[in-house]
Amino acid sequence: MSVTAIVGANWGDEGKGKMTDVLASEADFVVRFQGGNNAGHTIVNPWGSFALHLLPSGVFYPHVENVLGPGVAVNIPALLQELEELRRRGVAEPRLRVSDRAQIVLPVHVLLDRLEEERLGSRQFGSTRSGMAPFYADKALKVGLRIADLFDGDRIREAVERCLDLKNILLTHAYSTEPIDARAMTESLLQAGSAIEPYVRDTTALLQTAVREGRRIVLEGQLGALRDPDHGIHPYTTSSSTLAGYASVGAGIPPGAMTRIVAVTKAYASCVGAGPFVTELAEPAAGRLRERGGSAGEYGATTGRPRRVGWFDGPATRYGARLQGATEMALTNLDVLSAWGEIPICTAYRIGERVTIDFPPTGALNRAEPVWEQMEGWGTDITGVTTYDELPVAAQRYVERLEALIGVPIRFISVGPRREQIIVKPA
């Protein structure tokens, strides 16, 4: 099986970065296919703990070619800064290829994102303010700039004029702020072009050849199924598709080439940003789970915002796994639950008189109440466990109950943030 997608079954932050880091050891390519530096993966490896935002999670393996596909939103200064951070911390120069067809996140996108959230005030979407919505809006409006444009002086000048045309009216009239100077913007884009040029490739041709040659490709998703613009918790979604189905589009490989889809979910639930979250815990219980969760507590890798936390949500995860077309699941952060004597899980939603295991649209979701089942805890440290048989029986029961609720086999169980803290569950 040469093409594997690693994607989120929930709201994001499921531990996809760790899973990609694990599976990248056997990959030739690790490819990002959507999103930008608006989210982050935390990876803990021999060099330390890293928050990657735009770089693919294969950058720690010298043999891996890391690709930002045409579907990615490329913030060039942010990308260069992440590369610099790796250098500073002693990681060997990664092999990075950036698609010449990918579009560029401009400072004006970041500015508009912030101004709009400020304008919305208490009605804001909880954007990470990295410019994603204005960036993808420009893509739809066909006024975005592609990386390839950076190497064509006339084209870039014309593209900047077109891009700023309406925005300067918005900036001055709707947001009462200064317009952007087209000449200064063109100048800084030309400089950004020189800095990024060594990495720019026709990644579509590169990956098409790789697929034909049967090379091992890992497609790395960002955020999770419930943030997908079509299927997620609208309007608290992200601006690009988070689904494995989109991976072939955003990476530029044939859909049929993807044979393995690993959907990642946590053993509990976490959600950064706004939107309905049925199993959410209130304080102080939330604080207890938040502090124990992840590698250093549940705080956003990009924003540092405290993540909302709750118990495992069966209907949400089953829906997310189905949307992803998961062929297998990876369950992360099981170790975090070792501190609880009893662990509630949500098996269904009660919406008015109705009990359902289906995941409804946002209005009904806001009214949904969790139907709980209590699972017995295991109460011992499992961070050193390496085989399924060694897991306490109560932990095995927990895993198997989740597997039944999701309806997809759990193949990987992660019991700590480090690479080696992974159990492969026998089929």
Residues that bind ligand GDP (CB under 6 A): 8, 12-18, 39-42, 44, 294-295, 301, 332-333, 335-336, 414-417
**Of 201 and 307, which has the nearer Cβ to ligand GDP?**
307
Q: Which residues does residue 418 pair with via DSSP β-bridges, in sequence order?
A: 44
Nearer to ligand GDP, 108 or 423 (CB): 423
Residue 295 or residue 396: which is nearer to ligand GDP going by CB?
Answer: 295
Q: Outline where 325-417 has alpha helix (H).
A: 362-367, 393-406
Name the residue with tokens 């990002």.
Answer: 32
Task: Round to whole Å and give the CA distance between 97 and 99.
Answer: 7
d(CA 422, CA 382): 11
DSSP 307-343: PEEESEEHHHHHHHHHHHT-SEEEEE-GGGGGG-SEE
Query: Which is the catalytic residue, given 13, 28, 138, 335?
Result: 13
Q: Which is nearer to ligand GDP, 10 or 248 (CB)?
A: 10
What is the CA 399 to chain-centroid distance, rounded? 23
41 is catalytic: yes
Which contiguous run of DSSP H or E holds residue 7? Answer: strand 3-8
Q: CA angle at residue 53 from 51 to 56, to 5 degrees?
A: 95
CB 242 within 8 A of CB 34: yes
What string of H, E and C letters represents the secondary structure of 130-151? CCHHHHHHHHHHCCCCEHHHHH
Residue closer to ligand GDP, measured from CB, 38 or 75 = 38
Answer yes or no: 181 catalytic.
no
Rounded CA separation 21/251 (Å)? 19
Nearest to 104 by CA among 140, 141, 150: 150
Provide, rounded to whole angstroms, the least separation between the CB of residue 188 and ligand GDP: 30
Q: Is the distance from CB of 151 to CB of 201 less than 8 angstroms?
A: no
Shortest separation between residue 272's beta carbon and ligand GDP, angstroms: 8
Q: What's the min distance (Å) between Cβ of 236 and ligand GDP?
A: 17
Distance (Å, whole) CA 14 – CA 175 = 36
| Shortest Å distance, C-beta 23 to ligand GDP | 13
Q: Which is nearer to ligand GDP, 15 or 70 (CB)?
A: 15
- The CA-atom distances, in angstroms, between 326 and each of 47, 231, 269, 313 are 31, 15, 18, 17
Closest approach of Cβ 111 to ligand GDP, in Å? 26
CA distances from 242 to 8, 42, 81, 285 (A): 8, 18, 25, 30
Among 75, 48, 69, smallest CA distance to 60 is for 48
Q: Which of 21, 41, 53, 313 is catalytic?
A: 41
Nearer to ligand GDP, 24 or 112 (CB): 24
d(CA 117, CA 86): 32
Q: CB-wise, 108 or 337, nearer to ligand GDP?
A: 337
Catalytic residue list: 13, 41
